[in-house]
Amino acid sequence: MPAGPTRVPIRHAALFGATGSLGPHLARELLRRGAKVRAVSRTREKLERDFVGLDVDLHPADLSQPAAAVRVAGGCDVVFHTVGLPLSAYEEHVRLARSTAEAMRVTGARGVAASSYWSFGPGGSTSLREDDPPVPGCRVCEIRRRTEDVLLGAGAAVAILPDFYGPMASLSLLNDALDTLRRGEAVRWPGDPDAPREFIFLPDAARHLCDLAERREAEGRRWNVPGGGARAPRSLLEDAAETLGSSARVTALHGWLVAVAGLVRRDAREFREILPLYDAPIGFDSSRLRELLGGLETTPYADGIRTTLDWLGERAAERD
């Protein structure tokens, strides 16, 4: 009988790009598992903001410099690469991945990288497999795939994730839509609100990334990490509105509207480039990961959305 997957405990982890959506959730999961955590990002101010109350070492560093990446990875047995950049600086992902690869090479640390379904290009399927070829012609998708290739070449496990939602999620379409619902306003969903797609609750994403870090068999491969299953955004928002005791008014934000907005707003011009990613269904075949981990637990949308609405309400109350 073949041996099962080898589990390797995480002793000391470095979080590269720690002030993104995943960083604080990863820190909590790692601390729960008994690991020491080193949070790394460019500015101390953001680190202190995002990791308040957590027993985490804060290390400001410019990770575009390989020497800095090597220095802050020293003494760590795992590096989590969770760097996320705005579309205007998207090319920098490749350079930052090279810094992480160098840090892994010099220190001998294992690597786990959080990536996105964007590397497949515009979807059209709710059962994408890791070895499905990317759709050509999308600049940000090609950059995402090149970034993954650098990290895979260094031996990292690359986790392909759906869109995030949940407490502390930034640049989250579902969070934004839930907040709009909470305020009693109509939601304008970018792309097709009736195209089924997956979303992942951030604590689930953190748990699955840590699971990958503990499996030697995960190294040097891509892994589809599922969310709560493919659901139409309109359906999810209607359920959320019912939780709020209201109704959901959801309309599609079409490409021509984004184009008009782009005449005056740079972020709208940038978003128009990725709008095709939100016009087609997207979901994963995660059978490879389920086999590795012996099954997967995911938070039901009803529970994750309720938690997210509570967090959005608390944050709004703090601002008032």
- pLDDT score recorded for residue 80: 98
Give 23-35 pLDDT, tens digit per residue.
999 999 999 999 9
Percent of the chain residues past pLDDT 90, beyond the cut: 81
Q: How confident is the model at residue 265 (pLDDT cuts 50, 70, 90)?
A: very low
Compute the average pLDDT of residues 36-52: 96
Q: How confident is the model at residue 291 (pLDDT cuts 50, 70, 90)?
A: very high
Give 168-191 pLDDT, tens digit per residue.
998 899 999 999 999 999 999 988
Indicate the range of 244-248, 267-271, 287-291 predicted with least confidence: 267-271
Average pLDDT, the chain: 91
Domains annotated on the chain, with CATH:
12-164+201-227+283-298 (3.40.50.720)
Radius of gyration of the chain measured on its C-alpha atoms: 19
Compute the average pLDDT of residues 45-68: 96
Q: How confident is the model at residue 197 (pLDDT cuts 50, 70, 90)?
A: very high
Let me know: does 200 contact 263? Beta carbons within 8 Å.
no
Compute the average pLDDT of residues 253-277: 56
Compute the average pLDDT of residues 255-272: 47
Percent of the chain residues past pLDDT 70, beyond the cut: 92
- pLDDT score recorded for residue 260: 36
Q: How confident is the model at residue 49 (pLDDT cuts 50, 70, 90)?
A: very high
Indicate the range of 64-78, 87-101, 258-272 predicted with least confidence: 258-272
Indicate the range of 12-16, 33-37, 135-139, 256-260 predicted with least confidence: 256-260
The better pLDDT of the pair 225, 272 is held by 225
User: Is pLDDT above 70 for 194?
Assistant: yes
Give 303-317 pLDDT, tens digit per residue.
999 999 999 999 999
CA distances from 215 to 93, 97, 102, 212, 227 (A): 25, 21, 21, 5, 20
pTM, entire model: 0.93
Compute the average pLDDT of residues 55-77: 97
The better pLDDT of the pair 220, 138 is held by 220
